[in-house]
Amino acid sequence: MGIEDATVSAPTPREIMRRRAMGHMGFLIGASCVLLMVFLAIFAPYLTPYDPFEQNLEARLINPFWGTGGSWAHPFGTDSLGRDYLTRILYGARISLTIGFGAALISGVIGSTLGILGGYFGGRVDAVVMYVINVKLALPGILIALSLVSIIGGSLLALVFILGFLFWDRFAVVTRSVTQQIRGNDFVTAAAAVGASKTRIIFGEVLPNLTNQIIVVASLEMAIAILVEALLSFLGLGIQPPTPSWGLLVSEGRNFMFFKPFLITLPGLAIFFLVVAINLMGDGIRDITAPEGRN
Amino acid sequence: MPGAANPVLRVRNLCVDIQVPGGTLHAVRDTSFEVSRGETLAIVGESGCGKTMTALSVMRLLPRRAALFAEELTLDGVSLTELSEREISDLRGDRIGMIFQDPMTSLNPVYRIGDQLEEIYLRHGKGTRVEARQRAHHLLDRVGITNAEARLSQYPHELSGGLRQRMMIAMALMCEPALIIADEPTTALDVTVQAQILGLLAELRREFNTAMILITHDLGVVARAADRVAVMYAGRIVETGTATEVFSAPAHPYTRGLIDCIPHPGKTERGARLGAIPGIVPSLIGDLEGCLFRNRCAFAENRCATFDNVLSPAGQGHEYRCLLPPDKVGRAMVGS
Amino acid sequence: MMVTATAQRPAPSTDEAPVLECEDISRRFRVKSRLFHAPEFIHAVNGVSLSVPRGEVLAIVGESGCGKTTLAKMLLGLLKPSSGTIRFSGAPINEAPRAVIARQVQPVFQDPYSSLNPRKTLGQIIGLPLLVHQIGRPSERPKQIAEIMDVVGLPPYLVHAYPNQLSGGQRQRVAIARALVMKPEVVICDEPTSALDVSVQAQILNLLQDLRRDLNLTYVFISHDLSVVEHMADRVAVMYLGRLVELGETGQIFDRPRHPYTETLLKSILTPDPGQGLPSFHVDGGFPDPLNPPSGCYFHPRCPKILDECSRSRPGLVSDEYGSVECHLHQNEAIT
């Protein structure tokens, strides 16, 4: 006893990540923007006195406060049916974020499960998983989404599930290859030698080392889901009016594009900012959680 | 034994500093040594002692964050620190040959062996492609790769570890360098292969009269394969001398500690405790005063904290950095 | 050859069933078979028999490809032998559930960086066996963990530390603590110190010796470093291409080796004796292809003492009171 007395001076993994996070500009900007959007989405009813569905045909197509005739009564103006645009955009955040999180969650579960099973067990199980992944990769996701939505209809729940079931490939590929790497480590062999069941090994040894990668992929997939939903809604095949999806707002604003451009630019910018923020945050998480080199 | 009359490489007061989050890491501090033609100098030390950084400094292959200072760093009189990137890259492979630990990551897996050997020759303008091929063939034979003709058209992954390392040696010799730097050349190999490779290196060094720097952590390799030894600790050379001197009469407590650590069949009593050096290497970041070994040294005194790390003589060509007289540490078990 | 000094080590007990026994075990792996061809197999382990009494340190030596890692995995119960039986204290483990085997035999691996889960604290890592086997009440487990940490020399406050905060030596201590927390009878040490610095290696080897004595453990010690083997082991088993070619007491093996491969291995040990130079080897064909082993005795293409029958027939195992050897040279003799 006593030889290894040196006090621990190296920081814990959590401290390392925290230190990196605080210094990472991209992550801080992205994460704070995402958090802001989440806050706005959750508290939308308290932040605006208007109802997003309430029409006021007297007050149609009023400019935002920076345009002629605009005022702070309708900071972002009104649309063709007199509905307050700021309110529509705030409630639209709910749609985008719900679909983003929901689809990422579902595709994360599907893809990670397949990837972990294939990566851990190898052999025939992996052959089957690879086959499924290859089939999925060969399918044109967006086209299938389009067809499914036209059959099932464009409710929020349907979209979350359709997108969740169609965009899990990256999860599967990443988790599969990382699981293979993790499996090559001696601590997995040691756990098996200790007598741990496969379930315990997968959840206790493999999964904790995967979570960072999964989060990074999840942020990417969230951004993609949001964009695809916007696309579908724009085409009229996603969220149906009068629910204020941002894609739908852009579509509704098309007719007035040339003399009331704010109808398109504002929801367009909203989509843009949210997706950029998510991507920045995801990149940041990847950098922050990158493994430490050996001393 | 080749004398110091003809030094190929002279290094004086080499320092390597790396900027890290906590400050400046002094990876190599005031390191000086020389290597002559036909001589093998082993630089031995444990991880973090600075030996690899020293080798990379000579080849000017340090990572970008590292800064190099040296009072002198000359190869056959040419100052290596004053050369441009282009000029130093002309030297590498031509005047300085390099052999690394893992041949698989040092060789390009998508090119055939013959092509890689020839490329070095041609890149340094040594002759025609025909001459390059002839020399490659000749060297593969010389390093003991049978069936050289067929091997020239193979890819690195088709060879075993030992053969790949032989190929690395052939590559290092293509342009008849004045100096070969071998960084842990046999660590990843099986013991029988290791002995063969070391024997081969010794033979070739004699035949081509190159100088060789052998970097390793293995004291057995050092004792058997080296003419002179430099023991590095915490970025500094703490003892230097001929292999015989250093092993039979180590002057520095760290050297003595290292020698006591390894089981020596026939000398260490089987089942007895091995000598151990307590503690760990101190941090090399920031201002460093005194002898950095004092916290682990059995002979430490108060004045070690302000020791200015000068070299003291311990015998013919044998120097060390310690306040203690050279024989305080006692004669090692080796050679008794 | 070398005169070995024996130490005061308690003699392994011989009055009970051997704690570990292997009876003619083999393990083969199917190699990717091509269409229309019969499947090909590699016999990673081929008919190995061992008997280890309690308290012994049995070393397994051999170069890469000899099958020692596969053998270790079979002893740990991670791989089932293709044929043959493994017994712990007389009870066969072929059909035993993993949990039962795990309580009797535990590993210590080579790489201290990959053997600990970077996302778990030391307490969680060392406590895993207790959790899996539901040993003791949950409230008692921290105490058990603290006890074993004390035994291996880790300060108690490290229980909340993560592996990345520790040195290589400390990590290896954690691996040892994890192996011992369930008080197994046998510990399989697979190159436990090869990835450590020399000074740390000595500490860990000393620790392993102390633990063996204090806890009456039995070690299967796999190593490529013959100096360490000579120091630690009571008996040595030499493997070549899946077969056990020689087995005997350490003194016997190092002083009077019988198998030419053992001699070759011993010749390649580089002891820290300067001036003794490097062993000379004739350049040989290298390690044979495990898919296509040589006929007769596997070692015959490289054997310096080859006889006529060596290429024709595989030698049988000859056992006497000193051990066993598989070589035509010793087919009909008993050593004095």
A73 assigned to some structural domain: no
Q: Which of A6, A9, A295 sits opposite B279 (nearest CB)?
A: A6
Looking at residue C286, its pLDDT comes to: 66
**pLDDT tier at C97, thresholds 50, 70, 90:** confident
Q: At A281, which CATH number?
A: 1.10.3720
B225 CB neighbours in chain C (<8 A) are 270, 278
Looking at residue A70, its pLDDT comes to: 82
- Name residues of chain B where pLDDT drops below 70: 1-5, 330-336
Q: Which of C113, C115, C203 sits opposite A190 (nearest CB)?
A: C115
Q: How many residues can be counted in chain B?
A: 336
Over residues A183-219, the pLDDT tens digits come to: 999 999 999 999 999 999 999 999 999 998 999 999 9
* CA dist., res. C142 & res. C156, Å (int): 10
- Judge contact between C243 and C326, C-beta under 8 A: yes
Roughly what angle, to the nearest 10 degrees, separates helices A123-138 and A169-183? 150
Among candidates A21, A20, A233, A23, which has minimal Cα distance to A145? Answer: A233
Kind of pairing between the strands at B228-233 and C235-240: unpaired
Cβ atoms within 10 A of the Cβ of B334, count?
Answer: 21
* CA dist., res. B167 & res. B99, Å (int): 10
Looking at residue B315, its pLDDT comes to: 85
A1 assigned to some structural domain: no
Looking at residue C332, its pLDDT comes to: 67
Q: From the CA of A118, how many Å to the nearest CA of chain C?
A: 19
Q: From the CA of B273, how many Å to the nearest CA of chain A?
A: 14
Among candidates C123, C163, C44, C131, which has minimal Cα distance to A185? Answer: C163
Over residues C28-83, the pLDDT tens digits come to: 988 776 677 777 788 899 889 999 999 999 999 998 888 899 999 999 989 999 99
Q: DSSP string covering B47-90, please?
A: TTSSHHHHHHHHTT---TTEEEE-SEEEETTEEGGGS-HHHHHH
pLDDT above 80: residue A6: no
Continuous segment of H or E residues that includes residue C29: strand C20-31
What's the predicted TM-score (pTM) here? 0.87
Looking at residue A291, its pLDDT comes to: 67
Identify residue B281 by its one-letter amino acid code.
Answer: V
Predicted ipTM of the assembly: 0.85
Q: From the CA of B278, how many Å to the nearest CA of chain A?
A: 6
Tokens of A160: 């979350």
Q: From the CA of C210, how many Å to the nearest CA of chain A?
A: 11
Q: DSSP string covering A36-102, please?
A: HHHHHHHTHHHH-SS-TT---GGGTTPPPTTSTT--TTSTT-B-TT--BHHHHHHHHHHHHHHHHHH
Three-class DSSP category at C231:
helix
Looking at residue B81, its pLDDT comes to: 86
* CA dist., res. C15 & res. B231, Å (int): 50
pLDDT above 50: residue A39: yes
pLDDT above 80: residue C246: yes
CATH superfamily to which B7-95+175-320 belongs: P-loop containing nucleotide triphosphate hydrolases (3.40.50.300)
Looking at residue C323, its pLDDT comes to: 84
Higher pLDDT, A119 or B92: A119
* CA dist., res. B130 & res. B114, Å (int): 12
Interchain pair A6, B278: CB under 8 A? no
Looking at residue A295, its pLDDT comes to: 32
Domain ranges of chain C: 20-27+43-272+285-330
A16 CB neighbours in chain C (<8 A) are 164
**pLDDT tier at A238, thresholds 50, 70, 90:** confident
Q: Mean of the per-residue pLDDT values for chain A?
A: 88
A105 assigned to some structural domain: yes
pLDDT above 50: residue C5: no
With tokens 């790396």, the residue in question is: B18
Give me the mean pLDDT over the A85-92 stretch: 91
* CA dist., res. A25 & res. A279, Å (int): 13
pLDDT above 90: residue C218: yes
Q: Mean of the per-residue pLDDT values for chain C?
A: 86
* CA dist., res. C96 & res. B176, Å (int): 62
Looking at residue C57, its pLDDT comes to: 95
Q: Which of A1, A189, A208 sits opposite C153 (nearest CB)?
A: A1
A3 and B CB contact within 8 Å? yes
Range of the domain at A280: 14-48+79-109+137-170+193-288
Interchain pair C5, B270: CB under 8 A? yes
With tokens 């756990």, the residue in question is: A191
Interchain pair C128, A194: CB under 8 A? yes
**pLDDT tier at C11, thresholds 50, 70, 90:** low
pLDDT above 90: residue A181: yes
Interchain pair C274, B274: CB under 8 A? no
Please name every residue paired with B233 in a beta bridge, in sequence order, or none if there are none. Answer: B236
pLDDT above 80: residue A7: no
* CA dist., res. B93 & res. B96, Å (int): 5
Give me the mean pLDDT over the C122-141 stretch: 92
B280 CB neighbours in chain A (<8 A) are 6
Q: Where are the alpha helices (DSSP H) in chain B?
A: 51-58, 85-91, 103-106, 113-123, 129-142, 148-152, 161-173, 191-208, 219-225, 243-248, 253-261
A264 assigned to some structural domain: yes
Interchain pair A4, C153: CB under 8 A? yes
Looking at residue A292, its pLDDT comes to: 58
CATH superfamily to which C20-27+43-272+285-330 belongs: P-loop containing nucleotide triphosphate hydrolases (3.40.50.300)
- A47's CB contacts (< 8 A; 6+ apart) are A40, A90
Looking at residue B222, its pLDDT comes to: 93
- Judge contact between A234 and A247, C-beta under 8 A: yes
Over residues C265-284, the pLDDT tens digits come to: 998 888 888 888 888 776 56
Higher pLDDT, B313 or C11: B313
pLDDT above 60: residue A62: yes
C196 and A CB contact within 8 Å? no
* CA dist., res. B147 & res. B137, Å (int): 10
A5 CB neighbours in chain B (<8 A) are 279
Number of domains in chain A: 1
- Maximum Cα–Cα distance for chain C, whole Å? 68
Interchain pair C203, A3: CB under 8 A? yes
Looking at residue B336, its pLDDT comes to: 32
Domain ranges of chain B: 7-95+175-320
**pLDDT tier at C311, thresholds 50, 70, 90:** confident
Looking at residue C106, its pLDDT comes to: 95
**pLDDT tier at C294, thresholds 50, 70, 90:** confident
Tokens of B139: 């060297």
